[in-house]
Homo-oligomer: A and B are copies of this chain.
Amino acid sequence: MSKSDADLGRLLTEVCAANQELSARGLARFTFGNASGIDRASGLVVIKPSGVAYSQLRPDNMVVVDLGGSVLRGDLRPSSDLPTHLELYRAFDHVGGVVHTHSHFATVWAQARRAIPCLGTTHADAFHGEVPVTEHLSDRDIASEYEANTGREIVRCFGGRDARHVAAVLVAGHAPFCWGASVGQAVDTAEMLEEVARMAYHTMALDAAAAPLPTALAEKHFTRKHGPDAYYGQGKST
């Protein structure tokens, strides 16, 4: 088996497991939600087949496509959200995995079309600043290439921000997309986003005028966990 075959085999297994995790962790009910991963060396993307129950997923029924969206392997149609995933892989070159869920509280913020403010250190530990929400697409952008245009709107929404520091977005009226260096990391981010969204929801309900965390405190917590001065966890040297 060649190296590239081995890499693809590993990715099929990882993406299958990530999709099953979405269901196991309560982030995707029914067949809502899908996960994909990319092998940057070959440019191959592996994604969940559309409308198949999580319990029936196996590495060998994942769909393999290229970055243009052509199906290279598999008898099943890829997730209908594939074009959104592809836009993210093209725009954010550090991203190795993408996850879409309808997790409850993140979806509630998306439905209310509100960015999730950074209200506490739980948020600041995971996301650098608010989790943004997109604008609604125009009727024209819905009529043609809806899913690709959703991806383009996400990219536009990030503008100059580093998508590694806030690895999640709320699509207006729809639900979140998350990403990471690997598809497993993207699943972890989706789970963290749900908890942060739930905490922010209840905080706003308790006090509609709750203020965002002071900047110095938010920076402290983010840099304690991320970047060159991080001192949380066991680091490289232990």
Contact = CB atoms under 8 A, between A and B. Distances in A.
Interface of A: 29-32, 49-52, 75-77, 80, 102, 104-105, 107-114, 119-122, 125, 136-137, 139, 142-143, 146, 173-175, 188, 191-192, 195, 198-207, 210-211, 213-214, 216-217, 220, 224, 231-235, 238
Contacts of A174: 120-121
| Residue picked from A31, A76, A142, A188, most chain B C-beta under 10 Å | A142
A202 B205 CA distance: 10
Contact of A119 (B111, B211, B232): B111
Given A32-B122, A121-B175, A238-B77, A220 B111 contact: no
A89 to B, nearest CB: 21
Contact of A146 (B30, B173, B213, B220): B220
| Residue picked from A52, A120, A175, most chain B C-beta under 10 Å | A120
A202 B136 contact: no
Given A137-B217, A205-B205, A234 B50 contact: yes
Copies of this chain present = 4
Given A30-B191, A121-B174, A173-B213, 16 more contacts: A30-B188, A30-B192, A51-B233, A80-B232, A107-B199, A108-B199, A108-B206, A111-B199, A111-B200, A111-B203, A120-B173, A120-B175, A121-B175, A122-B175, A136-B217, A142-B216
A228 B193 CA distance: 36
Given A203-B108, A204-B206, A234 B102 contact: no
A77 B235 contact: yes
A214 to B, nearest CB: 6
Nearest to A120: B111
Contacts of A75: 238
A142 to B, nearest CB: 5
A198 B111 CA distance: 12
24 contacts: A30-B188, A30-B191, A32-B122, A32-B125, A50-B233, A51-B232, A77-B231, A77-B234, A77-B235, A104-B198, A104-B199, A104-B202, A108-B199, A108-B206, A111-B120, A111-B199, A111-B200, A111-B210, A113-B210, A113-B211, A114-B207, A121-B174, A136-B217, A143-B220
